[in-house]
Structure 1
Amino acid sequence: MFCKKCKSLLVPQTDEKGRVKFACRKCGTSSRSKELKIISVNPKRDKLFFVDKKENNELPITNEACPECKHRKAYYWIIQTRAADEPPTKFYKCVKCEHTWRDYS
């Protein structure tokens, strides 16, 4: 909601009687909404999964060096673990020693 007087964003506040009102931080105007709706957001959590040996043969292989054994072949997969405006996370699993690591770039 926006202030009718100065067009700034109205923020919810409670008045002295505990009722919710919308107030403008810029000009101080306040008003109560007749159609106040409280929305609760419960984000859905993604399921965690594991990559085991029998699934590795289905994953693509890249020439990424393992930080543990320095072998230059690794399975990889990509998952969006952060906000949508950030790049996805790349996960790697060494073909030789099976060490798993990630790359956020």
Structure 2
Amino acid sequence: MEFCPECGAMMLPNNGILKCNSCGYSNEQELGDEYKVAGEIEEHESVKMLGEVDDMRSTIKETCPECGHDEAYYELKQTRSADEAPTRIFTCAKCKHTWRAYH
């Protein structure tokens, strides 16, 4: 396996020479039998972002100011400078209302 010296992408065989599909760089020397592409790789999403699936988020006993439900999902985000505490963002598990707390 060889990588493009220009952009670092993997070089693939193309008409007997190695060619970079990202930037177009090609290695002009003839290829032997060791360079073969076995098949196509299908692109698919395999990474789930935390927070997109309700069951994966952290929950806490927190009363929703909108509906009064006592369970919420929460996350911490650094919304101000790094020397200040992060902001806690809550989402009601029942009505999906979102609010924040600064501590």
Please give the TM-score of this superposition, normalised by the length of structure 1.
Answer: 0.48
